[in-house]
Chain A
Amino acid sequence: MGSSKLYKGSLNTIILKLLEEQGKMYGYEITQKVKLLTKGELKITEGALYPALHKLEAEGLLDVEVAKVDNRLRKYYKLTEQGEKETINRLAELEEFIRSMQNLVSPNWSIK
């Protein structure tokens, strides 16, 4: 199992990407989807998820909708227009990061 420290810092990007693909999601659904997509490799802790969601909402990247489901109220998150643009930026940053890391750890890399 990989180190969860490697995923630290990517949580916001993961959330934004999921919402871009799925439309609207609620907190529990996000944790389950990440677990499913990573085959259990990455488990988002509840203590990390909700602060991240609330911060993204406060930054204007997420909008909130509430619906009554099964005897209780459920809060759904979805991307705002600003959120959609920001998702593209952050994914581009992440891709650049992965490319840089690949260059660093590639077997062809050597000091001459």
Chain B
Amino acid sequence: MKLTQDQVQELYGFTRQHYVEHYDLQTELVDHISNGIEEQWQKNPQLPFKEALNKEFKKFGIFGFMDVIAQKQKLMKKRYWKLILRFYKEFLKLPTLAIILTVILCLFAIIRSIPIAYRGYTLQGVLFLTAITFFLYAVKNKKKYKSRNNKRWLLEDVIFQWGDTLQIVLFFYYYPFGVLTRTANVYIEFALVVCTVCAAVLGYIMVGIIPKKAELLLEETYPEYKFL
């Protein structure tokens, strides 16, 4: 005896009720539980669906799906950072590498032309404006993503949630710049300019590039995506 389409949908609802929010993991657990229920029905065809379901759910232990969810989230974040690294490496090729080097040199020249007392503030100002721009862009991306009623995929959630989170982290990263640039050491100033531009590239990849390629990345990551 096999599960009906309605029963399968009920299982999707069940997994959602038990904190599995993402379609990719829901699908795998639904299939697993379905197999368990069908096996129970082979031995006892009169067993009610809900009773069979509860028996299968108990096999996941007292924490239910939590261990499975936690591990999946941890691994997906790692995957996301690997994606960032992949796109970052693409940026470090011509012609974008030439553009980045030009920006670094121009910014460095501007910083060096400013009186020492104001260099730190100028650099912080540049960083602040960049971070604010990316933060607002990330919030706009997130709103657009949330307004869709599609199924949720874990990778997509990570892409659209990390975009703005990291910009906030970068705000604090910028703080020591003001102190460091007061040393007027050309090497430190150059290093800070390089860090600034690298941080801006990272922000751009996170909010400008990866979200635009979300659909492609979902197809690459999830074989089940093509079934929708």
Chain A positions within 8 Å of B, measured between CB atoms, are 26-29, 45-48, 50-51, 54-55, 57-58, 64-66, 68-75
Contact = CB atoms under 8 A, between A and B. Distances in A.
Contacts of B5: 71
Given A26-B31, A27-B32, A51-B67, A75 B60 contact: no
B141 interface: no
Interface of B: 2-5, 8, 27-32, 34-36, 59-61, 63, 67-68, 71-72, 75, 78-79, 222-224, 227
A42 to B, nearest CB: 14
B31 A73 contact: yes
Contacts of A46: 32, 59-61, 68
Contacts of B75: 54-55, 57-58
Contacts, number: 75
B78 A50 contact: no
27 contacts: A27-B28, A27-B32, A28-B32, A28-B36, A45-B61, A46-B59, A46-B60, A46-B61, A46-B68, A47-B63, A50-B28, A50-B68, A51-B68, A54-B68, A54-B72, A54-B75, A55-B71, A55-B75, A57-B75, A58-B79, A65-B223, A71-B4, A72-B27, A72-B34, A73-B224, A75-B223, A75-B224
A71 B2 contact: yes
B153 to A, nearest CB: 13
At the interface, is chain B mostly helix, strand, loop or mixed? helix
Contacts of B71: 50-51, 54-55
Q: Which 8 A-B pairs have the closest CB atoms?
A: A51-B71, A28-B35, A66-B223, A58-B75, A66-B224, A47-B61, A50-B68, A46-B60
B118 to A, nearest CB: 47
A68 to B, nearest CB: 6
Contacts of A28: 31-32, 35-36
Nearest to B226: A66
Nearest to B57: A46
Nearest to B34: A72
Contacts of B79: 58
